[in-house]
């Protein structure tokens, strides 16, 4: 499906790769109905299993449009698992199974008829370890758009520039777009990965500990970037760094042993948590 379709009028048929077969479709924000207008992602009673082992227990939360939501918690608490449920990245893990409901703009993304590639186009992801492809900077950013049908050189150029600007990398790399992306520094590589995700023009961007391998200066740049991204996108970020969660996010969820202990406004979580375990964790008494 072409990315240009995004700008179609509300009456135009929404994304559907197999038009002859009626199927649930991923509705656009303006088509959302039945839930509150600014709910982008809805998770309802989600249980998740890796084979026999249950990793998530009845998780429910709502991610608001144009906000930054952070997931915090000790290692192995299930926050990354939940993040990867949101674009069905967990499908790749053998024996993984989700029970419950995850909605994107009101449509269940675990419906068997949903096209996963279409979903992932709308829910982009940035990984813990920066993973630019062993290609040039330009080709990295243009990878997604090319796959999704943008062939025209001019619009590709524009898209690449736009995405790199959006990721705050343009000024640093504009003179060496054709050089290998592997020659960039760690922080630049991570911003390139963000630019690569932006180039597909998603609605939601998932970030899985994007700064865990970066130095403080690079981390600062990414955090600034996240702050600006929420004007256009909905961001969900998993982090180990509680200061980071406090700095960048509007909402925050605290996970412990696969349970969502507390979810709410970041300010509330960090100042007056309801749950004793949350308070213990953020004050550093365990974890």
Partner 1 sequence: MGERSTLMKDFWRGGELFVWMTASGVALSLLMVAGMLGLIMINGLGQFWPGALQETTLRTQETVIGQVVGEEVIPNSVTPDSPAGQRRFRYRVGNRDVFGSEYRWIDASDMVSSARPEDLTVVERREWGPAFGRIMVGVEGAATGSASGSSWTTVKTLVERANQLRRRIEHLEREEIGSINYRIEKARLARHALTLSGRLAPADAEKDQRLLDQMTALERDYLAKTEALERLHKEAGQEVLFLTLSTGRSVRLSLDQVLAVSRPNGMHWVEKLLAYVQNLWLFVSSEPREANTEGGIFPAIFGTVLMVFLMTLAVMPFGVMAAVYLREYATQGPLVRLVRIAVNNLAGVPSIVFGVFGLAFFVYALGGTIDQWLFPEALPNPTFGTGGILWASLTLALLTVPVVIVATEEGLSAVPRDFREGSLGLGATKFETLRHVILPCALPGILTGLILAMARAAGEVAPLMLTGVVKLAPALPLDEYLPFLHLDRKFMHLGFHIYDVGFQSPNVEAAKPMVYMTTLILILVVVLLNWAAVRLRNRLRRRFTASAV
| Contact residues: partner 1, CB under 8 A | 87, 89, 92, 94, 117-121, 124-125, 127, 129, 131-134, 143-144, 147-148, 180, 182-186, 189, 193, 196-197, 200
**Residue reference for tokens 């199974």:** 97
The minimum distance between CB 98 and partner 1, in angstroms, equals 17
Question: 78 or 124: whose CB is closer to partner 1?
Answer: 124
The minimum distance between CB 226 and partner 1, in angstroms, equals 17
CB 61 within 8 A of CB 261: no
Question: 96 or 282: whose CB is closer to partner 1?
Answer: 96
What are φ and ψ of residue 63, in 5° steps? Answer: -100, 125
The minimum distance between CB 273 and partner 1, in angstroms, equals 32
CB 61 within 8 A of CB 269: no
The minimum distance between CB 124 and partner 1, in angstroms, equals 7
Question: 15 or 256: whose CB is closer to partner 1?
Answer: 15
Question: 124 or 253: whose CB is closer to partner 1?
Answer: 124
The vertex-101 CA angle with 42 and 238, nearest 5°, equals 55
First to last CA, the chain: 44
The SS3 assignment for 242 reads helix
Q: How far is 145 from 254, CA to CA, in rounded Å?
A: 35
The minimum distance between CB 182 and partner 1, in angstroms, equals 4
Question: 1 or 27: whose CB is closer to partner 1?
Answer: 1
What are φ and ψ of residue 207, in 5° steps? Answer: -125, 125
């Amino acid at each position: 499906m072409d990315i240009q379709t995004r700008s179609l009028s509300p009456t135009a048929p929404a994304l559907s790769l197999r038009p002859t077969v009626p199927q649930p479709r991923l509705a656009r924000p303006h088509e959302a109905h039945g839930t509150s207008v600014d709910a982008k992602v809805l998770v309802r009673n989600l249980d998740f299993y890796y084979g026999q082992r249950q990793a998530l227990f009845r998780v429910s939360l709502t991610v608001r449009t144009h906000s930054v939501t952070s997931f915090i918690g000790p290692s192995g608490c299930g926050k990354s698992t939940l993040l990867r449920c949101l674009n069905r990245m967990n499908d790749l893990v053998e024996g993984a199974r989700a029970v419950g409901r995850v909605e994107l703009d009101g449509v269940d993304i675990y419906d068997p008829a949903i096209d996963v590639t279409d979903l992932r186009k709308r829910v982009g992801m940035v990984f813990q370890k920066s993973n630019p492809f062993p290609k040039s900077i330009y080709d990295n950013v243009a990878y997604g758009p090319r796959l999704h049908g943008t062939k025209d050189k001019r619009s590709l150029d524009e898209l690449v520039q736009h995405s790199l600007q959006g990721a705050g990398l343009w000024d640093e790399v504009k003179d060496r777009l054709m050089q290998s992306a592997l020659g960039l520094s760690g922080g630049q590589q991570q911003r390139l990965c963000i630019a690569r995700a932006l180039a597909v023009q998603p609605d939601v961007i998932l970030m899985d500990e994007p700064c865990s391998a970066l130095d403080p200066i690079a981390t600062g740049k990414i955090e600034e970037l996240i702050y600006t991204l929420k004007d256009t996108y909905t961001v969900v970020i998993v982090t180990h760094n509680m200061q980071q969660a406090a700095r960048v996010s509007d909402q925050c969820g605290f996970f412990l042993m696969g349970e969502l202990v507390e979810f709410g406004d970041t300010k509330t979580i960090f100042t007056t948590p309801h749950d004793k375990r949350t308070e213990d964790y953020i004050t550093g008494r365990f974890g």
